[in-house]
Structure 1
Amino acid sequence: MKSILIVAIAIKMSIFVCFGQATNPEEPTTINGSDLIVKQYIPDFTSVFPNPERGWHNRRDVDGRGGDDDRDFSDVKSAGHTLLHSYLRLDDFKETDRIPRSYLNKLQEALDTIRAQGLKIILRPTYVWSEIPSVPESRILKHIEQLSAVISNNADVINHLETGYLGKWGEWHSGLYTDLSNRNDGDTRYRIIKKILETTPDNIPLAMRYPMHIREILDELPVPAGSEPLTQIQRDRIGHHNDCFLFNENDRGTYARLNIWFGDQTLAQQKQYTFDLITSYGGNKIVGGETCSPAIDRIDDTQVEMAKANWTEININFWGDAIDMWKNRWLSASGNDPAESEFDRISRKLGYRLRLIDATFPMSATAGGSFTIAANFSNDGYAGIVKSRPIYLVFENDTDRYNIELANVDVRKWVSGPVVLTRQTVNLPPGMKSGTYKLALWLPDASVSLQSQPCYSVRFANQNVWDASKGYNLITDSLIIK
């Protein structure tokens, strides 16, 4: 016998209050003849499935230096990954202010391929691989402008940028302008960050290698003469990439920068600065990176630190021994997480993992009238959705589809833990045909150019909800429009 879901229905739907729990969440209960129902949804706590802008990234060189094979991303798709990472190798241009058009064209071709294959990419410009770089500031700023023109034209498939340019591998160490003890070089660092931010769209996050460089730019350095202050939007864009995650107690120098011109910080203070990174609107900043050779000493800290720092993405290709350690380490069941390998847990929880718990809505509505819905979610991932994207109610029958945006909802605020979609009321089109409709929630990419591709839409962690061909999450398939 099915238990009864008891719903207290306030007059004129002014509130939604739910008591008890239904044993069959796929069969909503109507109480006292009302048209208002609460429907609960079956969770998926175990599956690893792709979602855009999060998860493992695959390393490729897409600027033509790695050969044609680096344009075949079929293995990335088959592995269920949605992200690539590429260095932009500027080695050949250290002595010239102009990046050749041929190089920029190859980059454009690669970005076209990435778009066609339903992926996004993380880019990091770098001048050297093993030597100490010494490219002057004036040349760096000119190169930024040229690369930013291509990046801006392809912002739809740029997941985020790593600051690059300075130091070995573009990691802001071992080279000109990287020394945190040099206050004057701080002005150069500011101008480089400002130039990247000014010449790329506001919807592209920027990740910096060292937390104390972030703190310098955001909190300590006076705005250099001739420069403008960072806007709040620009400040919100700056996050972190940790490229020696868990290597040792200070992640191989990530959290042990010394002789800092604005005052040394303890290891704990530097780590906490990373944990506290948050946007002005309450969302998470981008946090990603990789492990480094030979492996990781602090494997026991993986889950705690990924959750505290709100990790969104990490390299699957480097360092191989560290990845194998995660694959071979078994974790006990904890909360809603099943017993599984650490690799699988990381795969599920990197970035966001939105699970629909219940939704409250009427089972019928009138064309041209209003429609109200509320819902409860849980974000079971380490982080929220970092980049802005719209959320729509979809009403669809055999011939027509109506997408109505919930304009006052910012999904970037849906950070880890409980998430409430408060009552949202929309007006239905007056020309809707009467009949039975599907009702769905659709979170497509913010770029119109990608919205027709379902792989760029957010999938909920539920059973019997995701429609892969439409890219939306089904709320009900039996809504009556009168």
Structure 2
Amino acid sequence: MSKNKLLPILAVLIVLILISYSGKKPEERITVKYTADFNSVFPNPERGWHNRRDVDGRNGDDDRDFSDVRAAGHTLVHSYLRLDDFRETDRIPQSYLDDLQEALDAVRAQGLKIILRPTYVWDEEHSVPEARILGHIEQINCVISANAEIINHLEAGYLGMWGEWHSGRYTELSNKREGDTRYRIVEKILNTTPNTIPIAMRYPMHLREILDELPVPEGSEPLTQTQRDRLGHHNDCFLFNEDDRGTYARKDLWFGDQTLNHQKQYTFDLITSYGGNKIMGGETCSPAIDRIENTQAEMAYANWSEININFWGEAINKWKNRMLPAIGNDPAESEFDRISRKLGYRLRLIDATFPTSATAGESFIISANLSNDGYAGIIKKRPIYLVFDNGTERYNIDLPEVDVRKWVSGCFQLKPQTVNLPLNMQSGEYKLALWIPDAAPKLQRRSEYSIRFANQNLWSESKGYNVLFESVRINP
């Protein structure tokens, strides 16, 4: 054999010898398939049924006890902030604000989040001037901002009966001057609260007015893209009749001659600049649900995240008594149970691919296929971590390129994520997990604020993460 032919063979032999002496084996990667849970109803943060409460002290000590909400498997409460007593005064008393702070402390203690709506009147029209409203917004939002981590979202409120932007001063859509006031009120709410808090508006026409139609009033600034992304919708007469009791009926200005279906499509098409869903919630408004057969379709089209379980009780009972056949991955069940499972997000892990061993200080690559079986995506920004936990040492490795808000309904991929393992990582066997905690440092270590996957035998309630594999070997 010639010398030239021997050289390539010798080169290969040298490489093989070097590999064998290095003591390293080729990385073994496996794909693990996970068992779905298509049936269970379990709590997850920032989604589901909300319980109506009054947290401003008007009903006594029961406003501080939310243990039954958590016991029912719910994670949200909703409260009006009744400002009736302050319609004639420019300043809200500190005692009222202190009482609100006590209530928010109680919400936090129970591992819940809250939806708030300020209102001046219950069953009458009010005439509180704009300047006074803006001053009250600033006071209220000082407390809200200090507790932003447990505010699920705000409903715009302040105007009209029940803060629903109808039947009162500044609510007439065709009045341009009142339109300027509405803009300034929304602008004030946005400017005096953190960008982490979404704002839901009652009527699509007011939402469209602010986002798409109304010229920016003199002295105001155009909304930033982040602020525009924060604005969503709450429908407080869901399925009452063809137009949801006027929710979609006002065609006199921005919607022109568009049909009701076109108006609904406007809300169905609402999406953020980063591709996620906007906040969508509300309630029924009478014992009647004239369009009950549209429940599933409209909740899915509009990406509902939450709804009132206390109002109206008769309407809720109609959902409980209406049986639905199995379809797709949904089992035969009551309409109530299907709503309970699918409100907001319901993340399910299909499979994941990763190595069963790795070396401290070197790279680790993971990818996965998932599905969101809920009506909507995750609304608020959250981190996601790849966790290595051996019971003594726990390493939380951030996946900074992943925005979980983009995980809207349907199947999607967690594209290959390459992370660098800590150089000082202790050798041994580790559980491998995915952890999606709250973004707020105060809440990150509380498992009730972390997201559970809809799979069997993955969730660790004590740790707040989803276990992908029981034993990954880390070599020194």
- Which bin holds the TM-score, normalised by the shorter protein? over 0.9
1:408 equivalent in alignment to 2:388: no
Whichever residue aligns with residue 464 of structure 1, its letter is N
Residue 258 of structure 1 deviates from its aligned partner by 3.6
Q: Where do residues 288-307 of structure 1 align in structure 2 (5 Å cutoff)? A: 288-307=281-300
Determine helix, strand or coil for the equivalent of 2:442: helix
Q: TM (normalized to structure 1)?
A: 0.92
Q: Where do residues 9-88 of structure 1 align in structure 2 (5 Å cutoff)? A: 35-88=28-81
Residue 270 of structure 1 deviates from its aligned partner by 1.2
Asked if 2 retains the 8 angstrom alpha-carbon contact of 1:451 and 1:457, the reply is yes
Determine helix, strand or coil for the equivalent of 1:448: coil
**Alignment partners' CA distance in 2, 1:351 and 1:434:** 40
Whichever residue aligns with residue 427 of structure 1, its letter is N
Once the two structures are aligned, what percentage of the paired residues are identical?
A: 76
Whichever residue aligns with residue 319 of structure 1, its letter is W
Asked if 1 retains the 8 angstrom alpha-carbon contact of 2:107 and 2:113, the reply is yes
Q: In the alignment, what sits opposite 1:197?
A: 190
1:420 to 413, 424, 430: 413
Q: In the alignment, what sits opposite 1:398?
A: 391
Residue 259 of structure 1 deviates from its aligned partner by 2.3
**Alignment partners' CA distance in 2, 1:134 and 1:339:** 51
Q: In the alignment, what sits opposite 2:205?
A: 212
1:375 to 357, 363, 368: 368
1:358 equivalent in alignment to 2:342: no
String of CA shifts for 1:316-345, please: whole Å, max 9, x gaps. 000111100000000000000000000000
Asked if 2 retains the 8 angstrom alpha-carbon contact of 1:46 and 1:338, the reply is yes
Of 61-70 and 280-289, deviating more is: 61-70
Q: In the alignment, what sits opposite 1:175?
A: 168
1:274 to 258, 263, 267: 267
Determine helix, strand or coil for the equivalent of 2:430: strand
Asked if 2 retains the 8 angstrom alpha-carbon contact of 1:144 and 1:196, the reply is yes
**Alignment partners' CA distance in 2, 1:462 and 1:262:** 44
Q: In the alignment, what sits opposite 2:233?
A: 240
Whichever residue aligns with residue 455 of structure 2, its letter is N
Whichever residue aligns with residue 463 of structure 2, its letter is K
**Alignment partners' CA distance in 2, 1:249 and 1:183:** 28
**Alignment partners' CA distance in 1, 2:254 and 2:275:** 30
String of CA shifts for 1:45-98, please: whole Å, max 9, x gaps. 000000000000000000111211121111111110000000000000000110
Q: TM (normalized to structure 2)?
A: 0.94
String of CA shifts for 1:389-438, please: whole Å, max 9, x gaps. 00000111121001011001000000000121000001111111110001
Whichever residue aligns with residue 235 of structure 2, its letter is N
In terms of Rg, which structure is larger? 2
String of CA shifts for 1:339-377, please: whole Å, max 9, x gaps. 000000000000000000000000000011111100000
Q: In the alignment, what sits opposite 1:464?
A: 457
**Alignment partners' CA distance in 2, 1:247 and 1:49:** 28
Asked if 2 retains the 8 angstrom alpha-carbon contact of 1:91 and 1:128, the reply is yes
Q: In the alignment, what sits opposite 1:435?
A: 428
Whichever residue aligns with residue 268 of structure 1, its letter is N
Asked if 2 retains the 8 angstrom alpha-carbon contact of 1:40 and 1:357, the reply is yes
**Alignment partners' CA distance in 2, 1:248 and 1:262:** 19
Whichever residue aligns with residue 284 of structure 1, its letter is N
Asked if 2 retains the 8 angstrom alpha-carbon contact of 1:182 and 1:261, the reply is no
Whichever residue aligns with residue 38 of structure 1, its letter is T
Structure 1: runs of 5 or more not aligned: 1-31
String of CA shifts for 1:26-50, please: whole Å, max 9, x gaps. xxxxxx9861000000000000000
**Alignment partners' CA distance in 2, 1:435 and 1:215:** 57
Residue 261 of structure 1 deviates from its aligned partner by 6.1
1:344 to 337, 348, 351: 337
Of 116-125 and 293-302, deviating more is: 293-302
Structure 2: runs of 5 or more not aligned: 1-24
Residue 268 of structure 1 deviates from its aligned partner by 1.6
String of CA shifts for 1:256-281, please: whole Å, max 9, x gaps. 01422674532122111110110011
String of CA shifts for 1:441-463, please: whole Å, max 9, x gaps. 00000000001110000000000
Q: In the alignment, what sits opposite 1:388?
A: 381
Determine helix, strand or coil for the equivalent of 2:339: helix
Whichever residue aligns with residue 194 of structure 2, its letter is P
Q: Where do residues 250-329 of structure 1 align in structure 2 (5 Å cutoff)? A: 250-260=243-253, 263-329=256-322
**Alignment partners' CA distance in 1, 2:289 and 2:226:** 35
**Alignment partners' CA distance in 2, 1:193 and 1:430:** 49
**Alignment partners' CA distance in 1, 2:26 and 2:57:** 66
Whichever residue aligns with residue 96 of structure 1, its letter is T
Asked if 2 retains the 8 angstrom alpha-carbon contact of 1:220 and 1:262, the reply is no
Q: In the alignment, what sits opposite 1:29?
A: none
**Alignment partners' CA distance in 1, 2:196 and 2:268:** 22
**Alignment partners' CA distance in 2, 1:254 and 1:181:** 16
Whichever residue aligns with residue 102 of structure 1, its letter is S
Asked if 1 retains the 8 angstrom alpha-carbon contact of 2:209 and 2:254, the reply is no
Backbone CA RMSD of aligned residues: 1.1
**Alignment partners' CA distance in 1, 2:389 and 2:446:** 17
Asked if 1 retains the 8 angstrom alpha-carbon contact of 2:360 and 2:424, the reply is yes
**Alignment partners' CA distance in 1, 2:343 and 2:436:** 18
Residue 181 of structure 1 deviates from its aligned partner by 1.4
Asked if 1 retains the 8 angstrom alpha-carbon contact of 2:236 and 2:283, the reply is yes
